A and B are shown apart, each in its own frame.
Chain A
Amino acid sequence: MAIAQTQLLTLLQISDSAFPTGGFSHSLGLEAAVKFRLVEAGNLDVLEQFTVAVLENTGSFSLPFVTEAYESSGNFMELKKLSDMCDACTSNHVAKRASTRQGRSLLSTSARTFKNELLQHFQEFSEAQADFQIHYPVMFGHLCRILGVDLSQCQTAFMFGSLRTLLASAVRLDVVGALEAQALQNKMQSFIPDIISKYRSRKAEEACVSFPLPEVLQNSQDTLFSKLFYS
């Protein structure tokens, strides 16, 4: 099989909703936004603005960790340091929980799926470290490198994951219909290349939040009376 085909198939597999990393337990702050009546069913413009804000944050905050993990994939200690830094930068406990849960699931799922020696080693390494939590963006970058996905595809797939998770939660929260959500996703996808090009060479040291609103809302997830999502 041609390399390009193998890469594409691998990417499709790890980006598929059937790949059990728990992405669908998260709404990236949307559920809180709905509860606070800041995003409402039927108001597509507001949902669109919220979605762009989340995508910009994914690009300016998470993507640098994906990129740097991809680049230091061979060095487990570097990856640990990077994940620890991600932990210090993710003080929002709801986001932290979402990121570490998905990071852990991504590692265990892919270790069992891909039968890759490096992944087994990394799993052993991370279990041997006291108090080590692998954050999702770090694990994602690391995994893509191990699986031979090129960096730009890895960054694109990561952005896609955020968008898909957010819009899937919007459908389940009944903010938007399934078809409208797909049309919105398609529109949002056209922004992704520009967002990536803005942040593609940013270092984790410079990771920052661009739009604080989704962050503050997500942070209040645990105070909601009833909720569908973890974050």
Chain B
Amino acid sequence: MSAPTDRQAATAQGEVRFAVSSNYSLYSSEQRSGVEAEFKPCQATTLYYTYPLKLLLPEHASASQCKWLYAISYGGGLVGGDQVNLEVCVEEGIAVMMTTQSSTKVYHCLDGRVTRQQFKYEVQAGSLLFVLPDPIVCYKDAIYEQTQLVTMATDSNLVLLDWYTSGRMARGECWDFKKYHSTVSVHYSDQLIFRDSQCLQDTPWLTIKQGMGQYSVAGVMVICGPKLQEFNRNLLIELGKSKTYGARYDNTTVFSISPLKVARSLEAKNGPVTGCVIRFMSTTTQLCAKKLHEILLPLFPIIGGDPFENKY
């Protein structure tokens, strides 16, 4: 892919709002049959974006009621000084998956200008938002900052993946970027229930490369909401189970899991809301993608497909 480095840095705004399809109540067979589906068909009621951000809403990508949203950038990457601000709102009772077409490439910032992406997601009651992008790939000398702020209403659901790699591995780059800073904050019923903030940069005594050891991919996934309870329970059992006597400790791909508990003060009001957080690192993107595929498999019927199919 040719580098878009001759492109001028730009600030992009984007906004998408999803709601139940307007023709749903007129034509829905489920309305007639009286059986309520888990998620209603939905459509974008607002869709706005400016250069270099582009938002795609393919008609037939999903085999379910879940709507797919692709956030991409012109030229296949972000240059130093680019700022992308995107707001996604998922109204009540629907499912939406946001993804990318390929990894987000962040080019060098030789003039010290930061590349920044800010995402705000609002998930309303009864809805489910998947944020399943390809990894961020920071090239040599890139400076990248990303914030993701999720506001979840009571009784809403979320699966959010945030992962990154060591750079253009085929060109021998290995943790050669200047800075990668990613923060994910999740508020549930107006209370901060989760924050993960990672800021990787060389220090005088330890480079990122030394600190990452043999690993070239890392990330975090947060899963939360009443509709995902069974999925979540199974994950905690599967990934959280103890090694057996004599078992080999596979250090090529380490996936660790923690339960995510919503404060008891909220539970009293809303009933138990549980979730989990998965932290991982892997020696290769392929191994990592394979494990993520295994984990996400039970959700593919809801998503209506595999967003990473044929990619890794």
Contacts and interface: CB of A to CB of B under 8 A. Distances in A.
Interface of A: 35-38, 46, 49, 52-53, 56, 60, 84-85, 88-89, 91-94, 96, 130-131, 191, 194, 206-213, 215-217, 219-220, 222-225
A93 B274 CA distance: 14
Nearest to A210: B199
Interface string B265-285: 100000000000101110000
B213 A219 contact: no
A217 to B, nearest CB: 7
Contact of B244 (A53, A216, A225): A225
Closest 8 CB pairs of A and B: A208-B197, A219-B256, A93-B258, A220-B256, A211-B211, A36-B251, A52-B206, A225-B243
A39 B199 CA distance: 23
B213 A52 contact: no
Contacts of A223: 240-243, 256
Given A49-B210, A219-B256, A131 B264 contact: yes
A220 B213 CA distance: 17
Interface residues on B, range: 35 or more
Interface stretch (B19-27, B188-196, B291-299): B188-196
A60 B201 CA distance: 12
Contacts of B206: 49, 52-53, 56, 211
A37 B242 contact: no
A212 B212 CA distance: 8
B172 interface: no
Nearest to B281: A216
A92 B279 contact: yes
A41 to B, nearest CB: 16
Given A88-B194, A224-B242, A210 B259 contact: no
B68 interface: no
Interface string B203-225: 11110101111110010001000
Interface string B245-264: 10101010010111110011
A210 B243 contact: no
Contacts of A89: 195-197
Interface core residue of B196, B222, B240, B260 (most chain A CB under 10 Å): B196
B198 interface: yes
B153 interface: no
B254 A216 contact: yes
Nearest to B192: A88
Contact of B203 (A35, A56, A91, A220): A56
A25 B104 CA distance: 42
Contact of B279 (A96, A194, A219, A224): A219
Contacts of B243: 223-225
B200 interface: yes
B7 interface: no
B181 interface: yes
Given A93-B259, A207-B197, A215 B265 contact: no
Contacts of B198: 208-210, 212
A208 B259 CA distance: 20
A210 B203 contact: yes
A36 B204 contact: no
Contacts of A49: 206, 210-211, 213
Contacts of A225: 242-245, 247
8 contacts: A38-B251, A52-B206, A85-B192, A208-B198, A209-B199, A211-B211, A212-B200, A223-B240
Contacts of A220: 254, 256
Given A38-B251, A49-B211, A216 B241 contact: no
A186 B211 CA distance: 20
B183 interface: yes
B200 A211 contact: yes
